Every structure is written in structure tokens, then in C-alpha cells.
Amino acid sequence: MRKRIERVAVLSTVVAFMLFLLPLALVVFNLSVADTRSQLERDALAAVAQIDPQFSAGDVPELTPPSDSRVELALYDRAGTRIAGTGPAHADAAATGVLSGAPDQRGLDDPLVAVVPVTSSEQVVGAVRASLPLAVVVAGDLGVWATMVVGAAMCLLVGVLLARATARRVAAPMEDLARTAQALGDGDFQARVAPSGVAEIDAAGIALGETADRLGALVERERRLSQDASHQLRTPLAGLRAILESAQVAPQSITPAVIDRALERVDALAATVDEFLSTERTPRGRPTDVASEVRGLEERWHGVLAAAGRPLRVDAADRSMTVVTVPESVRQILDVLLENAHVHGAGEVVVRVRESRGAIAIDVEDEGGSIAAGDDIFRRGYSGAGRNGYGLALAQQLAEELGGRLLLSSRLPVTRFTLLLPQDADSSGLPASGAPR
């Protein structure tokens, strides 16, 4: 692109100079011709002023020397014979015309000629002819033309430099735009086009930056979706694997009840996928009995915790505790907390539902005490004590999307997480931090 801009600029400069220099050179030449004719005419007039009109061939008059030694100056009688000076022996057409009384006809002939008549009693008795070769005039103009060509060359050089600077100014932002687009295609969504000062290119760069932001957000969302989905699917897959491994070790133990349990796990796996995708795409709140959702944990997690020798106690009121929320999201949050207690906790796991200042609080605690002070366990990507940094971050994100909060309400002597769900649409009454009262 730079070469193309430079070629166009240089070609335009050359054409402009050609259109300017050629007429100017012609004007200079015509001015030189006119000036030379005027000088020849002055030389001839000076000679005529010194000639006696009664001259004769026997009495040759002396002609005044011309201003330029290259000028031929001659005196012709009425018959056209040269009787003094230098020039043709017989009068040429220009001199013959003047001797016959016709006006001097000036043309661009070689040589340039000026003829002045010599008169006596208003009669033409002779003529003085002054001439100069046209090559002398052209030679005198060569210096002027050379100066013009040098000046044009210098201007052309300046034009080339300006063309290169302009090409860099225009092409560099375009190249930067192309590099940014390439980086965006390679997955670098932080790449941006530097401001160039060219409004159109800057506008394209801004649009490309906005596109990069949208693509980056989309890719990040899809990445988080895949991480969260893999995390959420791990628990039902682990339960199904445990059933299948038990059946593999003791094939004789495969009973209809075992098959029913495996099918239940498959159904739970499918339900988890459906719930997760539904929550990610179109979360819509509806009246949900939180106590009933908590009681459902016992069915899903009792066997898993029992296999690890750990009891599960669910403390949910028999009465209904209804809030407007997304039950699928609530189940996902509780499953994350139960899995966290199963993998990282110790001892008995207790799930408790209670009311707390206009909100429903769900506590999930164990006897682990494995969280150190200062651990940012809700940060996505946090790793520590065998954690992968996705589960709790996902649970907190889902809680915030529900208008609630997920808190680490106790670190010692027991580890307790508390999920707060507002009982109305306005969650401003929820405590900002710390344990609920």
C-alpha cells in the first residue's frame, strides 16, 4: 500500500511539473526571441542614424558596431546590393520587402532578422539589416531552462519525501489495523488499534475494539460455562461410577434395585444438564419451597457421604418456606456446598434452614476447619488444599444472580457456608457481610 501511495503521489507531481514547465519554457523562449528582435532593431536604428541618406557605392559609409559581436549588420542600397557591413551579398526576403516599401514581416526564422529603412525625402533609398542566428537565442535560454529543471527536480524530491511521509502516515495505521485484526483472529481480545489521527481509521479501530470486547466476553462466558458444567456434572458422574464399580466387583449383586439406582443417577445427570443450561440461558424466578429443596439433598447425598463414613443431618422445618427464586440454581448451589463439605471437610455434615431478617438462610457446615485465614476461596481459579477454584465461585455467582448472597459465615471451629435468599424482590435488607443473625 505504501508503494502504491508513493507511486501515485510521484506520478501526480511529475504530471503537474510537466504541465507547468513546458508552457513556462515556451514563454521564456518567446520572451527571449522578442527581446532579441528589439535589440536587433535598436542596433539597426543606431546604424541608420549614422548614415548619410545621400550615400553611394563609391562612398561606403561606416556602420555603428552592433551591441553583440555575433550580430551581422549590413547596409543595402535600393537595388538590394550590400554595400557595407556583414550579411548576405544580396538582400533577403525581409530586406527586399522593406526596400519595396512593405512593412517588416517578423517570423520565427533562422536567423532572426530586423530591417530598418534608410529614407530621403520620404523615399526609401536603402535598408539596414541586423540578424542573429536562432541558435544563439536558444543557447542563451539553456541556463534558464537548466535552472528550471533543477528547481523542478528539487521540488520533485520534496514531493517524493512528502509522499513517503504521507504513505507512512496513512499506511501505518492500516497496517496496525490489519495486525490487530489478525491478533483478534488468533484469540488476543486485548489487542487494540493505536489512535492515528485519521478519523476514518480511528473509527474502524474503535469498532474493532468494541467487537473484541464482545467476542472476549462471549469466549469468556463459554469458557466459564464449560468449566462450571464440568464441575457440576462431576458429582452425579461420581455416584454413577460408584454404582457401576460395585456391580463390576460383585456381578451377583446386580439386582433390579441396583439398576434402578443407576437409572436414577442417569436421570439425575440429565436433570443436572437441563437445569444448568436452563439456568445459564433463561433464568426465571418462580415460587419455590426452599425447605423442600433442602430435604431433597438427603436423598442425593446421604449415600455418597455414608460411603465415606460421614453422617448427613438435614434440619429443615416441616412447614413451607417459599421464596421467588430459580430452584435449579438453588439446587446447584447446595450441591456445590455439599460436594465442598464431602471433598474438603470432615465429620458430620449439617444442612439447616432458618429465617433471618427478611431472608431464608441455608447453612451447610462440617467439622473440617480446612480454610485458612485470608484464603480467597470464592475467587475463580483459586487453588489450594486440593481445590480447583470453580465450584464456590460458581455458587457465589449463582447466588448473586438470584439476588442473594453466599457467605463463609464460620471458619473455626466448624466450617459453615450460608446461602441467603431474599423473601421478596428487594434484597436491600440482606446483611452486606459477615454471618447472619
Residue 172 lies in a domain: no
Would you tell me how many other CB atoms lie within 10 Å of the CB of residue 343?
16
User: In this structure, what are the phi and psi dihedrals at residue 299, rounded to the nearest 5 degrees?
Assistant: -65, -35
Q: Tell me: do 116 and 22 sit in the same domain.
A: yes
pLDDT of 162-186, one tens digit each? 877 777 777 777 778 788 888 888 8
Residue 406 lies in a domain: yes
Residue 182 lies in a domain: no
Residue 109 lies in a domain: yes
Residue 73 lies in a domain: yes
Q: Tell me: do 325 and 376 sit in the same domain.
A: yes
Q: Tell me: do 10 and 118 sit in the same domain.
A: yes
Asked if 252 and 246 touch (Cβ cutoff 8 Å), the reply is no
Mean pLDDT of the chain: 79
pLDDT for 406 equals 92
Q: Tell me: do 260 and 299 sit in the same domain.
A: no
DSSP state of 260: H
Parallel, antiparallel, or unpaired for β 359-366 and 72-77?
Answer: unpaired
Q: Tell me: do 376 and 412 sit in the same domain.
A: yes
DSSP state of 424: S
pLDDT for 276 equals 58
pLDDT for 434 equals 42
pLDDT of 61-108, one tens digit each? 788 888 888 889 998 888 888 888 888 889 888 888 888 877 666 666
Q: Is 357 left (phi over 0), alpha (psi -120 to 50) or beta?
A: left
- Number of structural domains (the chain) is 3
Q: Domain end: 106, 121, 141, which one?
A: 141
pLDDT for 431 equals 44
Q: Tell me: do 378 and 319 sit in the same domain.
A: yes
Which amino acid makes up residue 175? Answer: E
Residue 12 lies in a domain: yes
Q: Tell me: do 51 and 110 sit in the same domain.
A: yes
Q: Domain end: 217, 240, 270, which one?
A: 270
Q: Tell me: do 311 and 414 sit in the same domain.
A: yes
User: In this structure, what are the phi and psi dihedrals at residue 107, rounded to the nearest 5 degrees?
Assistant: -140, 170
Would you tell me how many other CB atoms lie within 10 Å of the CB of residue 433?
7
Q: Tell me: do 201 and 304 sit in the same domain.
A: no
Residue 131 lies in a domain: yes
For residue 429, give the nearest of 336, 372, 356 by alpha carbon: 356
What's the rounded Cα separation, in Å, for the pair 209 and 355? 48
Scanning 107-255, the segments in alpha helix (DSSP H) are 134-185, 199-249
CATH of the domain at 309: 3.30.565.10
Q: Tell me: do 319 and 384 sit in the same domain.
A: yes
Domain holding 105, by residue range, is: 2-141
pLDDT for 192 equals 83
pLDDT for 432 equals 41
The residues of the chain scoring below 50 in pLDDT are: 282, 425-437
User: Which distant-in-sequence residues (6+ apart) come within 8 Å of 164 by Cβ?
Assistant: 2, 6
What's the rounded Cα separation, in Å, for the pair 63 and 141? 29
DSSP state of 252: G
Residue 255 lies in a domain: yes
